[in-house]
Structure 1
């Protein structure tokens, strides 16, 4: 790396921190800096006042003693007033800075319309690292620690000015020694923080996952049933020790500079204080001058490594750099302009996919390869196929969550996420929001009235659910909250389906359903689809399901295989063709044909022997 590039790389985290501070505080951060400098110079005034008082006592000189006392008292008063003012100001700005960091990260992750970007290993690592930093201090001590650093640096520089009055070389020697040690320590810290955000973030992901399995509720049943407790504890301990070993080994590489800086600092103090002591013995320095000099030498310690304030700022620099890097990495395309809020009504939407190819970043073989599909407005289409055929990927590309490598996707004549973004959807792995029932259904149509939510829940077959909950629509759907209540798998699926149907009642022209009834029994599924057909009249619907007894009710059935449409037609047409769909449907139907009563027949046979 060229020297200029190395300098820019070292300065990048500092520029990022200044950018985030300006976003959070604007000109107020300059005010904090000025006040912190004034607060830091107050001890310098106190040092000079001490020298005046001691000299006046030895003279004796009453006027100089009074002057020294006034100067000393003024320095204390200024320090107290500035401390109170800065304590309030930095507390306010700390909160604003934390909010700006969180908002930057949230906007970066939420504004990208394609979830593929969030699945990139580099982005996953960045987010895991930021989560770890947030666990340490929550991003809410940055301004206060910056104030501490500026204040103490001002104190150190004030001491340097005082020492110049004794000998020009004294502050120079001490300044070089303190900065040398601080540079070594800072390199060691930055190196350690860098390790934590790269190697550490990667290697601690597994122990964090194992810890989650051990303490979180979702895995509790299988952990106990299969006796995995010992394996989890041992695996967590071993993987965490391995991660720490790599981090500690990397951090040890920077200790040489710290040791060298410490030796240089000891030599510098020995030289300066030894010279001052010799001058005092020979009468070249008075008692007052010696006291002032020694205090100034101690004050130069503020130019060295400051401990926790510098550690916090080291973390803050990395957080700011990572947050801004996410902002750049996840910058949305200009064409991705999703409309916010409730979709405007406008009827059913036609769908067209032309030559669509999509390959996951971690794979070489495309999941969708030259897929063509056209759905007229208002038609209901079922998409079927074997596992791995590309059905769920097709749905995500259609919804604009993945951007195709080749081809075009149009909904209502526009790309997904365009100005006519009126899509309702329920995915196979739908989200279970730990929020009230009202929010779980209402997210499908933000701003919709209660009558829309009630009708959507009834359409989903769960109209009686609010009456069974402790607080009705305001019940938090999680047992981990006071008066909260969890739901069964089937109830959760109906709530998720109600969310999609609320989007339809709110104006969505396309409804996409990916395995919407997987947690329901056959009878509940049949009843649901009867209500579903009535609720989605005049809406284009796309249904993905493995239960072919349900998809046969669709206007049209599309069979996906190897990333392409291989069969297309009505249930009757595809059964008559005797292709893949007919084979799958016949295989499923055979499971429900009563087996020959062989046991009973054997019982009717006469005994032999």
Structure 2
């Protein structure tokens, strides 16, 4: 007996370790599938949609609502546990049938019916939870904002009570219906408890009565009672039932993502080897959920090697034009051509390797300085080229001041990480774009490149950067009209179309919106300069 107990405990420990290992490997595979699906998407339309966000959250949910992970590995191991439980119940049924076939079959039928009914009601709670996946995502987002991303505002403005109150209110709104349904299920379990008591009475009473009447040997009583108990054990909702259901939902969500058609982009017409002619032909584009198009019949031609500045009020479509040119979105109607070939039919990855893009909300990579510059052209990581790009972007002093030079980690959450100021990060991002141009990118897209620079640094940027783009076509988006004066052509967008077009001098002579905006900005700058001089 001691030996059997030792073996039993040893096997249990081994099974626990193996179960954990198997579950984690399966979960890792599922998460890898979701990540691969996300990275394979050629554009942002499906990636940014609520449907994709909900399915991705369901595939990798960590069990915030009911404290139960959606683990595909847990579902697999849970299915094995359930299989063995079912086999044990069948074996117990066969043993009990040697005493009474009617009692054995009746207990098994009642136990399976109880299990199916209870499972249906309890698993219905998961349906209620899945009905508001967006609420769960927002609840998690609010928590991250309070603890990490909005930490400065929380302390400076005393927002802790606001965040705490919003967090509680959102939690009640999102999870309150789930817990109310849970309580309702508990209240409806009286009939299941009654039926269980009746079945238990039969399981205990019939063998006992047989012993009292002498039709059953008393030594066999405990055998049949334990066998009956083994049959009834299958009626209990073990933990594996929840593991299976939650994991099944995760797998279904991942399968839904995989089933979504992914637009082709890995093959198509070859891209031009040099700076191409880019043309927007009556392009219309509306963001999902918006009621008005951002671009509404835009027609524009950008010639090879030309520096074109895009200006206009907020929402005029400047950044959207850049995103469409990068293939992040597709026009609703019209087309964008590259040397006469529709962008939709080009080899999209190859086309993107011809672009150097700097958005206003550029990424701060959790990596060293070298990689933060060279990621714009990862196929060419060369220290000399990185240093040259930093110098051209006005970052020589920044490089000299860092403790480990190019090896300095810019991940400020790391042990030896170094954070940069907004202007310094802007220079790193500019160096990233120039590095890409030096690596052979023929189209440079700059979306508000001097947003974090002062006026003097802005002037240095245009003197140093714009003189180092070579033959690349440059598209510059800016609200500061002083930064676009040297452009070959200035395009003013209004209502999603080209409203004014020409050189700086020509547009001033036209006396339209550009001239009015430029005059207002110049007057504000003159007033600020006068005030600073008086001080």
Alpha-carbon separation, structure 2, partners of 1:582 and 1:92 = 68
Return the offset for 1:547.
1.0
Structure 2 length-normalised TM: 0.89
* Cα deviations by residue, 1:129-163 (Å, 9 ceiling, x for unpaired): 44543775483544433332222222222212222
- Measured at CA, do residues 465 and 151 of structure 1 come closer, stay the same or move farther in structure 2, by a change above 3 Å? farther
* Cα deviations by residue, 1:280-302 (Å, 9 ceiling, x for unpaired): 22222223432221221222244
Aligned pairs (5 A) from 1:9-408: 86-87=15-16, 89-133=18-62, 137=69, 139=71, 141-199=74-132, 201-216=133-148, 218-255=149-186, 258-329=189-260, 331-334=261-264, 336-337=265-266, 346-408=273-335
Aligned to 2:371: 439
Q: Secondary structure at the match of 1:553?
A: coil
Return the offset for 1:383.
0.5
- Measured at CA, do residues 322 and 374 of structure 1 come closer, stay the same or move farther in structure 2, by a change above 3 Å? same
Q: Secondary structure at the match of 1:166?
A: coil
Alpha-carbon separation, structure 2, partners of 1:108 and 1:557 = 39
Preserved contact between residue 545 and residue 551 of structure 1 (Cα < 8 Å): yes
Preserved contact between residue 380 and residue 541 of structure 1 (Cα < 8 Å): yes
In structure 1, list runs of 5 or more residues that go unmatched. 1-68, 602-609
Aligned to 2:387: 454
Alpha-carbon separation, structure 2, partners of 1:445 and 1:170 = 74
Return the offset for 1:499.
2.3
Aligned pairs (5 A) from 1:584-595: 584-593=517-526
Q: Secondary structure at the match of 2:396?
A: coil
Question: Is 1:471 equivalent to 2:471 in the alignment?
Answer: no
Alpha-carbon separation, structure 1, partners of 2:441 and 2:191 = 68
Q: Secondary structure at the match of 1:381?
A: strand
Aligned to 2:343: 415
Q: Secondary structure at the match of 1:567?
A: strand
- Measured at CA, do residues 493 and 198 of structure 1 come closer, stay the same or move farther in structure 2, by a change above 3 Å? farther
Return the offset for 1:362.
1.1
Q: Secondary structure at the match of 2:298?
A: strand
Return the offset for 1:577.
1.8
Preserved contact between residue 75 and residue 245 of structure 2 (Cα < 8 Å): no
* Cα deviations by residue, 1:101-135 (Å, 9 ceiling, x for unpaired): 11121122221122122232233333344454377
Higher alpha-carbon deviation: 230-239 or 483-492: 230-239
Higher alpha-carbon deviation: 398-407 or 574-583: 574-583
Alpha-carbon separation, structure 1, partners of 2:335 and 2:271 = 24
Return the offset for 1:372.
0.8
- Measured at CA, do residues 286 and 526 of structure 1 come closer, stay the same or move farther in structure 2, by a change above 3 Å? same
Preserved contact between residue 203 and residue 229 of structure 2 (Cα < 8 Å): no
Higher alpha-carbon deviation: 120-129 or 156-165: 120-129
Alpha-carbon separation, structure 1, partners of 2:451 and 2:202 = 80
Higher alpha-carbon deviation: 407-416 or 382-391: 407-416
- Measured at CA, do residues 138 and 473 of structure 1 come closer, stay the same or move farther in structure 2, by a change above 3 Å? farther
Return the offset for 1:361.
1.7
Alpha-carbon separation, structure 2, partners of 1:305 and 1:454 = 67
Residue in structure 2 matching 1:548, options 481, 506, 512:
481
In structure 2, list runs of 5 or more residues that go unmatched. none
Alpha-carbon separation, structure 2, partners of 1:597 and 1:82 = 84
* Cα deviations by residue, 1:312-343 (Å, 9 ceiling, x for unpaired): 222111111111112223x3112x2279xxx9
Alpha-carbon separation, structure 1, partners of 2:482 and 2:528 = 19
Return the offset for 1:507.
2.1
Preserved contact between residue 207 and residue 237 of structure 1 (Cα < 8 Å): no
Preserved contact between residue 129 and residue 175 of structure 2 (Cα < 8 Å): no
Aligned to 1:570: 503
Question: Is 1:520 equivalent to 2:453 in the alignment?
Answer: yes
Alpha-carbon separation, structure 2, partners of 1:572 and 1:523 = 23
- Measured at CA, do residues 528 and 265 of structure 1 come closer, stay the same or move farther in structure 2, by a change above 3 Å? same
* Cα deviations by residue, 1:411-451 (Å, 9 ceiling, x for unpaired): 35351626433212111222222232233222211131223
* Cα deviations by residue, 1:199-242 (Å, 9 ceiling, x for unpaired): 2x3333444343333221x3222222222222222222232233
Aligned to 2:362: 430
Return the offset for 1:405.
0.7
Aligned to 2:415: 482
Alpha-carbon separation, structure 2, partners of 1:585 and 1:483 = 45
Return the offset for 1:488.
0.7
Q: Secondary structure at the match of 2:361?
A: coil
- Measured at CA, do residues 367 and 348 of structure 1 come closer, stay the same or move farther in structure 2, by a change above 3 Å? same
Question: Is 1:534 equivalent to 2:467 in the alignment?
Answer: yes
Preserved contact between residue 214 and residue 232 of structure 1 (Cα < 8 Å): yes
Alpha-carbon separation, structure 2, partners of 1:407 and 1:429 = 28
- Measured at CA, do residues 411 and 597 of structure 1 come closer, stay the same or move farther in structure 2, by a change above 3 Å? closer
Preserved contact between residue 470 and residue 483 of structure 1 (Cα < 8 Å): no
Alpha-carbon separation, structure 2, partners of 1:170 and 1:463 = 87
Return the offset for 1:398.
1.5
Preserved contact between residue 349 and residue 539 of structure 1 (Cα < 8 Å): no
Structure 1 length-normalised TM: 0.79
